[in-house]
Amino acid sequence: MIHFLLRVRQAIFSPIQKTQLYMQPRMIKGEHALLDLVDVLKEKHLTHYMIVTTPGFIKRGTLQSFFEALTQNDIQYSIFHDVKPDPEISDVEKLKEMFIKDDGCQALIAIGGGSAIDCSKAALACVQMKNLDVKTVLHTGRVSKQLPLLIAVPTTAGTGSEVTAGAVITDPIKKRKYALSHLFLIPKYAVLDSSLLTSLPAKMTAYSGMDALTHAIEAYINCFNNRKTNEYALCAIKSIFQYLVPSFEDGLNMQYRLELLEASYNAGVAISNNYVGYVHAIAHGIGGMYHLQHGMINAIILPIVLEEYGGAVVGKLAKIADVVGITGATDQDKSKQFIQKLQDLNQIFSIPTSIPEIQEEDIHYLATGAEKEGNPTYPTPVTWNVAQFEKVIRKIKQGYTI
């Protein structure tokens, strides 16, 4: 009965979710695309921008040519670079206050991975919801006003945050990540600049690529997807399988980097229109509890969760296998080979097969949080209760055998 009611709710909201297909940001892409953004900013005639980025980009001088171009064109800006790898409520509060207090600040440019972009989204949402504190906005998901102009410049090819309507923020007290979601959070511009990824370490290339792959796979195997969403998901999966390993091995190749940026963007479109699934529901809790890298967690969890879904995903995994060139006599065979291929990728990237940091006494808390996040929102192939989540989390602690 519960499964039926969840499916009814998901079926009702699914057409509404699909409207995001038509609300994508304007894309600017290519090598040094960030400099092309300056011409767009000149047309806006805004007086002051907040630039949110990471200490590493400031220290390395990666953005110096962009800052110089802004100055040459009399575009005023301030810089905020105090964002943790997993942004917390305090980061959102600091950015919100700086945006409000900085003289005449009218728009925000987020340059970084998902952390910088998500923190920016959440902060701008809180700027607009002036009567509510940051915790209330994050915990209730209340966003009822259009955000100031937000421009997202991803420096990893993984989160898809430059196109999604969501943001993930960590509550360090509750040791849980909260997903804020609203159409107003979709950036107005997405700048895909391959030159910004050349300094990305190989392991982060792998982690972020596996994050994007998880997005695309979960969106594709979820219920209530449509033809257009499937096209975005399968396109992302095909590109990641083609370019992730080469980019891991040769991080200076601009073509590989740009292909992965576009794949991450397409995967972001896919989850914007058909959500993620139980991989992310579990990963958010583990990341919040043990402060492990999100893409790495997803990579470890993905093959385990797909196996637990069982027959409900065999047909769709077989279709994915066809797209990436895996052959087999039956759908069951192709599905099994595809899951094995995911494990093979993890081995290439030296990603562990388990998460031994998980403590037995934390499993019920993690399972409860995952069930609360996943149900009823995510239209997953099967519906799990808390006990089933506990079973899977124990498997994740133990790991799969290559």
Q: Which amino acid is at 393?
A: I
Q: From first to last of the 402 residues of the chain, give the pLDDT tens digit.
A: 555 556 655 665 566 555 666 679 999 999 999 999 999 999 998 989 999 999 888 989 999 999 999 999 999 999 999 888 889 999 999 999 999 988 779 999 999 999 999 999 999 998 887 766 777 777 777 777 789 999 999 999 999 999 998 898 888 888 888 778 888 899 999 999 999 999 899 999 999 999 999 999 999 999 988 899 999 999 999 999 999 999 999 999 999 999 999 999 999 999 988 999 999 999 999 999 999 999 999 999 999 999 999 999 999 999 999 999 999 999 999 999 999 999 999 999 999 999 999 999 999 999 999 999 999 889 999 999 999 999 999 999 998 765
The count of other CB atoms within 10 Å of the CB of residue 19 is 11
What element of type H or E holds 183? none
Fold classification of 31-197 is: Rossmann fold (3.40.50)
Q: From CA 113, how far away is CA 121, in angstroms rounded?
A: 13
Q: Report which secondary-structure segment, H or E, holds 359.
A: none
DSSP 268-296: HHHHHHH---HHHHHHHHHHHHH---HHH
Residue 390 tokens read as: 């506990």
Which CATH number is 202-398 given? 1.20.1090.10
Element holding 53 (H helix, E strand): none
* DSSP characters over 125-178: HHHH-TTS-HHHHHHHT---SPPSEEEEEESSSS--TTT-SEEEEEETTTTEEE
Q: What is the four-CA torsion angle of 168, 169, 173, 176, rounded to 10 degrees?
A: 10
**Main-chain phi, psi angles of 179, to 5 degrees:** -100, 110
Other C-beta atoms closer than 10 Å to the C-beta of 238 total: 17
The domain limits of the chain are 31-197, 202-398
Q: What is the distance between the alpha carbons of residues 353 and 339, in angstroms, rounded to a whole number?
A: 13
HSE toward the beta carbon, residue 301, CA cutoff 13 A: 31
Q: Which helix (H) or strand (E) holds 98?
A: helix 89-101
Nearest CA to 378 among 386, 370, 366? Answer: 370
